[in-house]
Amino acid sequence: MRALSVSPLSDYQVWWSLADSKYAGTALLVKHCFKPVSVKFSLESGASRDTHVPDGRVILAEFKTFRLLVTYAPNNGWKEEETSFQRRRKWDKALRKFVSQESKKPLIWCGDLNVSHQDIDVSHPDFFRTAKQKDYTPPNAEDVGQPGFTAAEKQRFSQILKDGGLVDSYRWLHKSQDFENGFSWSGNAVGKYRGKRMRIDYFLISEQLVGRLLHSDIQGSGIDHKGYCGSDHCPITLELSPATSTVPAHLPHVSSIDTDSTTGIDVKEITPEGVCP
């Protein structure tokens, strides 16, 4: 907390949504000169400002011309249990319902979404596709595989993108696989996951923002966690062009963080509207 009182973090206002334990949680940092219209911690339209999603997995900020959704999706797990497959199905259902709702403002959705959408989003597709826990095989074939890369998760993610009119900003700009810089999660440096990598952190944007998309990049590289800042996830960044020609091209950033004791810190940056000194 002391770091928040020292520049540059002292230039930002911070919103937190925390879990009861260190397992999960999200945060949103916005420069003081930008004032969100509202900030809430639930996807339910009628929820009060004090209502938080369990485990602190959601922050929804509404600005003058866009909405920013920060989420930390629960890991799918390995088994047909309430805290595993069933929990992730409920989460995906809630997100699909949210993005399907009509809104006059486009959506920017960032965070650890815990899913790799296509084969080019993982380093070793066959390894992840057939991975399973020892002595357990899921009853449904579509649930077999590495959490985040099962057929069921990928199908639900495709439906969320379609129903929400959303675009994967990184894949829109980077059509082919980048084996060095194209993954946001990297496995343990020792053991069978060494060199195994996944892209599970995203900036999804509404289709009407695609024309303003300048950059969507992954800031880490290699199997030795270069740029990962001590985490198994690395920062990702997004840059949009100004909404009008009267706004300078170099705008300040809004940053969001999802943090837990396992994944460390993932920083995502977006370019908001307006001018900030």
Note whether residue 21 is domain-resident.
yes
Our answer to whether residue 52 is catalytic in this structure is: no
If one counts the domains in the chain, the total is 1
Question: 114-152: per-residue pLDDT in tens?
Answer: 999 999 999 999 999 999 988 899 999 999 999 999 999
H or E element that contains 94: helix 85-100
Q: Annotation-wise, does 232 bind a ligand?
A: yes
Question: 189-203: per-residue pLDDT in tens?
Answer: 788 999 999 999 999
Q: Given 12, 72, 170, 202, which residue is catalytic?
A: 72
Q: Are 86 and 177 in contact (CB under 8 A)?
A: no
Q: Annotation-wise, does 50 bind a ligand?
A: no
Our answer to whether residue 124 is catalytic in this structure is: no
Note whether residue 159 is domain-resident.
yes
Alpha-carbon 94 to chain mean position: 16
The residue ranges of DSSP E strands in the chain, in sequence order, are: 12-18, 25-31, 38-40, 58-62, 67-72, 107-112, 166-168, 185-186, 197-198, 201-206, 213-218, 236-240, 254-260, 264-270
Q: Which domain holds residue 38?
A: 11-270
Note whether residue 6 is domain-resident.
no
**Most confident residue range from 173-177, 222-226, 230-234:** 173-177
Note whether residue 250 is domain-resident.
yes
Distance CA 14, CA 110 (A): 16
CATH value at residue 159: 3.60.10.10
Q: Annotation-wise, does 114 bind a ligand?
A: yes
- Per-residue buried b or exposed e for 237-247, using 16+ beta carbons within 10 Å of the residue's own CB: bbbbbbbeeee
The structure's pTM equals: 0.89
pLDDT for position 224? 86
Q: Given 52, 117, 233, 253, which residue is catalytic?
A: 233
Q: Given 12, 55, 92, 112, which residue is catalytic?
A: 112
Our answer to whether residue 126 is catalytic in this structure is: no
